Structure 1
Amino acid sequence: MTEVARPLDGEVALVTGASSGIGEATALALAQAGAAVAIGARRVDRLDALASRLSASGARVLTLPLDVTDERACADAVDRTRSELGGLDVLVNNAGVMLLGTIVGADPEDWRRMVSTNVLGLMYMTHAAIDGMVEQGSGDVVNISSVAGRTARKGAGVYNASKWAVNAFSESLRQEVTARGVRISLVEPGAVATELSSHITQPEAREASRQMAQGMRTLQAEDVARAIVYVVTQPPHVAVNEVLVRPTDQER
């Protein structure tokens, strides 16, 4: 029987925030589509468990202990991916934190964590990868934003700001590199059943997030991963620059 070619056969992907949730599901989905996958995150024990699953499926995998707030570590992750897996075709900037809460009475440390991870970390990873993609005349950078990058709401002001920054950065970069064969895409999930809300430090905001999720059929991480694979498996002349994916019954 002839083996059926998979759409990402021969390509190399790097996924940040791969130790759980959307990142983990995306790494598995990209590998299923044929890609060799570099997986980066801070929780090495979880990365090792994911690497075992990927290897068992026949995928080539590289484990990268990675804190995206460390600019040098981001550059090293890209360098290792290229040297050990043979290139870099797809970068999925998924690492992020969602520390919802009011601005009045907030702990600015939560703000620093969100800006450092959601904005600067994404920029560091993109900066490390983009020159090589421009030189090879191809590549996909997929930035995981949020519905919060489109609609501001009370109790999420700084998280909103971090995701609006991702959207603005992505569109500016898209205009800069689109003629060079590199595609820049945004995937903006709505409510997803992940552990993000457990990181919220304000008790009232954490409870509000929990109640909102209970009131709808939330997305699963695999739903978002399918959207990401759709984006990066389009023909070279097709760019899907923005995908908003949310639960059917999520109002905003």
Structure 2
Amino acid sequence: MRLDGTVALVTGASSGIGEAAAVALAHQGAAVAVVARRRERLEELAARIGKDGGRVLVIEADVTDEAQARAAVERTASELGRIDTLVNNAGVMLLGPAQDAPVTEWQRMVEVNVLGLLYCAHAALPHLIRAADDGPRYVSDMVNISSVAGRIARSGSGVYNLTKHGVGAFSEALRQELTKKHVRISLIEPGAVETELAGHNRPEVLEGIRNTFGDVERMQPEDIADAIAYVVTRPRHVAINEVLIRPTEQER
């Protein structure tokens, strides 16, 4: 099922998985609202999608601010007419031992990975329910981007694990709540992907990440975007609840 006549909203769209997901959904025919803090990056992305004939709405917003998150959702629905697909992709990964960790890093991960996702989900739900009652597909999708860290806890990533396990729990509970309404809730759990995500860590943490994954051929953002596009283009009676994607060489 192509996405012609539908509208998708993608958070964290200024780079990495979010950027690739916006391109992939536009290629499937969706009008796309791209949301992030870096407007210049979003404008560049919009130009690329527009050059291929896609319809794009650029929204500069910080989803950790509830008012901005809600405004981004409402602006999407107002200017593009509806919301059929929400990709909750905005996230941060700040690793390191819990002992002596900067608590501000923990706060940032909870704000982005949990609260930002919840704000967008809450604001979008009425629109997704409405879209599932209407054409062209009579089904809508919320895709929450988690991580392998949402399945496996590791030393040195406790709070990141906490946030991503929480995303998984919320997604499954919401799935059960909305499944009869044909609002599909899907969880994507990537392993190592070549993005900017790890680059925000402290130097000593970055060294550890390089030691762990240095020899692994990482996935590209387009690999995850391909999975997102697959999930949201299934027929109405098919729901892909959870997708775990690792690089072939990643052990755990």
State TM-score, norm by structure 2. Answer: 0.96
Shift, 1:162, TM fit: 0.5
Partner of 2:20: 25
2:106/2:159 contact within 8 Å kept = yes
CA RMSD, 1 decimal: 1.0
Deviations 1:192-243 (A, max 9, x none): 0001111012x32211112323211100000000000000000010000100
What CA distance in whole angstroms lies between the structure 1 residues aligned with 2:207 and 2:179? 42
Matched position secondary structure for 2:248 = coil
Which 4+ residue blocks in structure 1 deviate beyond 6 angstroms?
A: none
Partner of 2:233: 233
What CA distance in whole angstroms lies between the structure 1 residues aligned with 2:234 and 2:169? 23
What CA distance in whole angstroms lies between the structure 2 residues aligned with 1:10 and 1:234? 16
Q: 1:42 aligns with which of 37, 46, 53?
A: 37
Most deviating of 66-75 and 112-121: 66-75
Write the mapping of 1:138-177 to structure 2, written as runs, cut at 5 A.
138-177=139-178
Shift, 1:52, TM fit: 0.6
Most deviating of 124-133 and 140-149: 124-133
Partner of 1:3: none
Matched position secondary structure for 2:46 = helix
Amino acid at match of 2:116: G
Shift, 1:83, TM fit: 1.1
Amino acid at match of 2:224: V
Matched position secondary structure for 2:119 = helix
What CA distance in whole angstroms lies between the structure 2 residues aligned with 1:158 and 1:127? 23
2:87/2:145 contact within 8 Å kept = yes
Partner of 2:247: 247
Q: Determine whether 1:221 maps to 2:221.
A: yes
Shift, 1:86, TM fit: 1.3
What CA distance in whole angstroms lies between the structure 2 residues aligned with 1:105 and 1:133? 42
Amino acid at match of 2:248: T
What CA distance in whole angstroms lies between the structure 2 residues aligned with 1:45 and 1:134? 32
2:83/2:131 contact within 8 Å kept = no
What CA distance in whole angstroms lies between the structure 2 residues aligned with 1:171 and 1:49? 35
Partner of 1:185: 186
- Consecutive unaligned residues of structure 2, counting only runs of 5 or more, are 133-138
% identical aligned pairs: 60
- Consecutive unaligned residues of structure 1, counting only runs of 5 or more, are 1-5
